Chain A
Amino acid sequence: MFDDGTPIYRQIADQIKAEIMNGSLEPGGKVMSTNQYAAFYQINPATAQKAFRELVDEGVLYKQRGVGMFVAEDARERLAADFRERFFERVLAPLVQEARQAGISLTDIIDYLEAQEGARK
């Protein structure tokens, strides 16, 4: 389930973020409880709680006392900005690096991406 490189709570936080981004979690929607997460992933509930705390700190989730955790109304916007930043850093930068090692030029990559985009239209 988890690769043990990154702490599990961060992986869970990332997963919840991804669910918000792809729409399976709606803004204002209720998130499963820490215990439900813990039981589902077979992890210590404190680990799930840590993920939630991080998301609350980031403003992605908010807590309603006695009721549960909910997705912030502006969560998607927050995450989109964050995601955009990380996309270049984590996805594109290594890609460019790898392409260089293989002797693929940037123009080749751009041509390829444009062709793909054209095929989709």
Chain B
Amino acid sequence: MPSLENLTLPNRQFALGLGIAGEGLKYFKYWIVAAVVLAFLGPLALSQTTEIDLSTWFYTANIGKWFTAFVAGGFLYALVPNMIAAGLTRRELSVAMGLFGLLWSVALGALVFAGLLAERAFYDAMGWTQGVQTGDTISALGSWSDTAVFAAVYPLMYLAYFAAGAVIGAAAYRWEGSGWLLLVPILPVVFSLDNALYDTEPFGPGWMGFLGGFMDEWGRVPILIGVVAVAAVLGLAARQILIDIPLRSKKA
């Protein structure tokens, strides 16, 4: 953890949240750089043999969702015993985690947004089509503004995935051996919203998004509201699981 020295009490949870976010991004910096490089070099290599009509960044952005959920769950699972044993309250930890989630989602979201726009310019220059997989067909993102609208919601999606990961991480610590089962109700909801938003398949077991079929007729705005609501509910659920979590006893 970088430079936590001289923390003062009423605000330390914010400094801590900032610290964890910085640490998280620093920890994965090579992964992130590698993903960025691959996203640009990949299509260049593929273009030698086939025509490019799919956005690589679309896949990069989707992997980012999984990555975000793992980071949230993994970090929280490890932080609960360490931070509480080091004299942090659960309330402070949940605030720090919330701040971490916001910063992480904004940072990764901004990266993906910039990446998709850069890719747009790149593809236009090369004469390729920036398209995304929707069901069995590929739909091209027509205009620059289509690309921007498509990309703009990623921070929000990351936030929802972060909250989902946090719930599972907290539950897995709290209920050893059974907490991860919360995946069963959470995954389909998040996947379905994701699916409905783009009318695309989320990266992963797509059938999990089965509810998306019912939702995609709602229109974009209600679905976005749904994403916000689900992120909020999951965030609150994680806080609720965390707020009176007991530390596990040491194995003798």
| A–B interface present (Cβ within 8 A) | no
Residues of B within 8 A of A (CB): none
